[in-house]
Structure 1
Amino acid sequence: MEDSKRISEPINFVHQDEIWKAHVKAEKHLAEEWPNKWGFLTEVYKEYERESVKLNSTVRVEVPHHPSTRPATPPESYIHVGTSPPFPQTTQALIGWRSGHTRLQLEKYGAVHHGRRSFLKELGWPLDGCY
């Protein structure tokens, strides 16, 4: 939708060209000024690089050899899948047919009981205190 608005507006090519020239001029100026403002960083980086090469060549730390990790436990040892109940013969019984069996329910650890408290009751305020 914004593109349709953009097409209807006239484009000023001269103005866009002036903006482009200003960007190029600013970038050229900043490229000339960079060594004066930030040139010290190149010297610091070269010094850091020389020191790191020197340290890497002189200091060699032996990494202790650790025994290999134990093999992964196969899922069959801790995941046990039982047999399913017989498939229902009617389409009406198809809806929720697995949830009727206690061993196949999704809630293994019982129903969830939280969020039953009232903030107003905890403070001892009347229930009609808030609208």
Structure 2
Amino acid sequence: MADSQRTSEPINSVHQDEIWKARVNAEKRSARDWPKKWGILTEAYEEYERESKKLNEEARRKLPQDPAAQPPTPVEEHIDVTPFPPFPKTSQGMIGWLVGHSALQQENFRMQRHGRRSLTKNLGWPRDACI
């Protein structure tokens, strides 16, 4: 669009036509040479499609014909469901009501205590080595 608005430079239509011909020839050449260079990709893709169809057919055979005929799997088989303690009757009882139950306790985030160890002491370095 910007090229068509320029009037100061003359347009060489023969040169533009040669550029277009070169592009078209490059496209034709690459289309002709593509199977030689990259044809293995089509073979791998066709093999993948065959395996995919075979696996889909096997999966369909394993599924029951009527999905409503199969009873749903109970949740207890997959998840450990423990009875939940009763909800407290007062707002004061809500503070820490789950702490007393070991199965419902959350993680404790407290300071980890480590012994007095020193890297320099373990490696036998002098104290001034890391200063």
Give TM-score, length-normalised by structure 1.
Answer: 0.40
**Structure with greater helix percent:** 2
Give TM-score, length-normalised by structure 2.
Answer: 0.40
